[in-house]
Amino acid sequence: MRIGILGATGAVGRQMMECLEEQKIISDDLILLASPRSEGKVLPFAGKELMVHAVNEAWLEGLDYVLGAVDADTSRKWAPAIRNSGAVYIDNSSAFRLEEDIPLVVPEINGADALNHHGIIANPNCSTIITLMAIAPIHQISPIRKVIASTYQAVSGAGMHGIDELEQEVKDIAEGKAVKPSVFPAQIAYNCIPWIGSEKEAGYTSEELKMRNEGRKILHNPEMKVTCTCVRVPVFRSHSISVSVECEQPVSAEAAAEAISQFEGDVYLKDGYPMPLDTSGQDKVYVGRLRPDMVFDGGLSLFCCGDQIRKGAAANAVQILAYLLKH
Ligand code: A2P
């Protein structure tokens, strides 16, 4: 089996390599691809040193699967060549997520959708994956009608440059220097920024609408109403989300706690609370602060937290690959 990673040098691409090793999907010939800037770089994998290549058609030839960890434009540019090479493309970008004939998959929730692919499978948005992992078990008790979500998103969601910017700003502030934001629209050190993505309909951002549009597709729940506010916080890793839901029938906190505890990939915290420092570096989504909602009659409120580079991106993509291999 030959696997390629497009965007291998980025935060998600590097994590994909680790996840492949952890999930014991050892490709005989892992091909690392990135931009021409990275040609000749060397990255460790399974005890070997692998060379990174500038992506081109020749490097795609003969691949069985390609994991994509590049931005949407780069993904759109290379998807046709990947398809032509005969490989299945598991894409982490937003390029194809809402296209009708392209499955959008969180394996624990709608893994079977992955089997209906036509060469491309999309990996959902990071906050959407983590939120849905928390509320899918509730949706299985009674279909969710309404969701109100507020996210607390780590800087690594913006890639390596996001991590660098927070580190640099903290250093600059300590040294009394002026802060010059470039990745984020304002200073992120010692601050929160209630704006992620680009402006879309009715004052909502692209990131906020992903929660609604992708959430509906993954849960097969096209009428679900979702309102979401996305906030960037000065945390390096792991996104957190405060969520309130209303279902068709009232769901008790006890029944929801039981369902979340049983749900593969979730850890239910009866005591203590989900926090980014605890969820980073592993694949489980932590769910806690579960309680009856005070606005939605019979509804629930909770807080969830997960490593968005792992379960929110790389680990989920590698799990999709594992699901395809298994089925
Ligand atoms: P490179 O390191 O060569 O720029 P992140 O989101 O962490 O910044 O990572 C983005 C990933 O996408 C990197 O691996 C980056 O490679 C890759 N990438 C960016 N632009 C291109 C491009 N035009 N062609 C191929 N890969 C690209």
- Structural domain harbouring 219: 128-154+192-306
Residue 169 in any domain: the answer is no
Tokens 């499955």 belong to which residue? 103
Binding positions for phosphate? 97
* Structural tokens at position 105: 């998959």
- State whether 145 and 247 are in the same domain: yes
What is the residue with the minimal CA distance to atom 1 of ligand 1? 35
CATH number of the domain to which 87 belongs: 3.40.50.720
- State whether 87 and 139 are in the same domain: no
- Report ipTM for this prediction: 0.99
- State whether 66 and 199 are in the same domain: no
Q: Is the CB of 37 under 6 A from ligand 1?
A: yes
Q: Are 135 and 214 spatial neighbours (Cβ–Cβ below 8 Å)?
A: no
64-122 pLDDT, tens digit each: 999 999 999 999 999 999 999 999 999 999 999 999 999 999 999 999 999 999 999 99
Amino acid symbol at 227: T
- State whether 133 and 72 are in the same domain: no
Residue 31 in any domain: the answer is yes
Q: Which atom of ligand 1 is nearest to the CA of 70?
A: 12
239 in catalytic set: yes
The single residue of 53, 117, 239, 304 carrying the catalytic annotation is 239
How many independent structural domains does the chain possess? 2
- Per-residue pLDDT of the chain in tens (327 residues, 90 and over written 9): 999 999 999 999 999 999 999 999 977 789 999 999 999 999 999 999 999 999 999 999 999 999 999 999 999 999 999 999 999 999 999 999 999 999 999 999 999 999 999 999 999 999 999 999 999 999 999 999 999 999 999 999 998 899 999 999 999 999 999 999 999 999 999 999 999 999 999 999 999 999 999 999 999 999 999 999 999 999 999 999 999 999 999 999 999 999 999 999 999 999 999 999 999 999 999 999 999 999 999 999 999 999 999 999 999 999 999 999 999
Residue 185 in any domain: the answer is no
Query: In residues, how long is the chain?
Result: 327
- State whether 146 and 253 are in the same domain: yes
Residue 133 in any domain: the answer is yes
- State whether 222 and 258 are in the same domain: yes
- State whether 246 and 133 are in the same domain: yes
- State whether 73 and 10 are in the same domain: yes
Residue 175 in any domain: the answer is no
Q: Is the CB of 11 under 6 A from ligand 1?
A: yes
Q: Is the CB of 7 under 6 A from ligand 1?
A: yes
Q: What is the distance between the alpha carbons of residues 130 and 118, in angstroms, rounded to a whole number?
A: 26
* Structural tokens at position 247: 């279902």
Binding positions? 9-12, 37-38, 97, 153, 156-157, 232, 308
Q: Is the CB of 38 under 6 A from ligand 1?
A: yes
CATH number of the domain to which 218 belongs: 3.30.360.10
- State whether 139 and 245 are in the same domain: yes
Extended beta strands in the chain, E state: 3-6, 31-34, 42-45, 48-54, 65-68, 88-91, 120-122, 144-153, 225-232, 239-247, 266-268, 285-292, 300-306
